[in-house]
Amino acid sequence: MAVSTNNLVVASGGSIWVAATGTTAPVDPAVAPSAPWIELGLVSEEGASISYGKTIEEFMSWQRRNAVKRTVTADEITASFTLQEWKKSSFTFAVGGGSITNVSGTVYRYNFPTGNDDLDERSLLIRWDDSGKSYQIHIERGSVTEPVETNLSRTALAQLPISFKALSSTTTDSIGVALLTDDPAFGLGS
């Protein structure tokens, strides 16, 4: 395929959605997800980032100074983004569960998860459009893995920074992450 500026992607806006682990992902990246998917709201202007890495083990031989074989022992995919909205769906996602109760009228109490609670696993979608093309990354199963440190300041937004790490698929021996797009540059024979 020839070099083309049509293949450059700028995710100038997008959205992040969560659902219970095992929820079927949308099959068209151009159509907004429906329930039970929940949009987490505004995200900082940096957008989202995806990190993919492999753990590689090298094997040496007595007769060689360099590795004679390498094998992949693990895959790791992490999505990072910063949520700006403080609401039930975004806050409970950020801190990994917990519960919200109505104290009285319009007063609510949030109880943080305890050490005895199961780890809050979710399914995640990161979606964006560029020049009439739509993209969706689906993490089938994962959880927030890093501390959520929020600064409360007179001069800045209180934000919820997220690192969401993928877990292995429950049905296959894979990391359980996929990119779905209607971008013709991904077509067969492209």
The pLDDT, as a whole number, for residue 117 is 82
Alpha helices in the chain (DSSP H): 88-95
The pLDDT, as a whole number, for residue 72 is 92
Burial degree of 56 (CB within 10 A; 0-12, 13-18, 19+): exposed
Q: How many CB atoms lie within 10 A of CB 122?
A: 20
pTM score > 0.95 for this model?
no
Q: What is the pLDDT of residues 48-85, one digit of tens each?
A: 999 999 999 999 999 999 999 999 998 899 999 999 99
The pLDDT, as a whole number, for residue 1 is 54
Phi and psi at residue 95, in whole multiples of 5°? -95, 0
Q: Are 135 and 11 in contact (CB under 8 A)?
A: yes
Task: Report the distance separating Cα 12 and Cα 130, nearest Å.
Answer: 7
Sites in the chain below the pLDDT cut of 50 = none
The pLDDT, as a whole number, for residue 115 is 80
The pLDDT, as a whole number, for residue 16 is 98
Instruction: Spell out the residues 6+ positions from residue 18 whose beta carbon is closer than 8 angstroms to its own.
Output: 37, 38, 40, 89, 93, 122, 123, 124, 125
Instruction: Spell out the residues 6+ positions from residue 159 whose beta carbon is closer than 8 angstroms to its own.
Output: 44, 82, 83, 84, 150, 151
Q: Which domains does the chain have, with CATH numbers?
A: 10-186 (4.10.410)
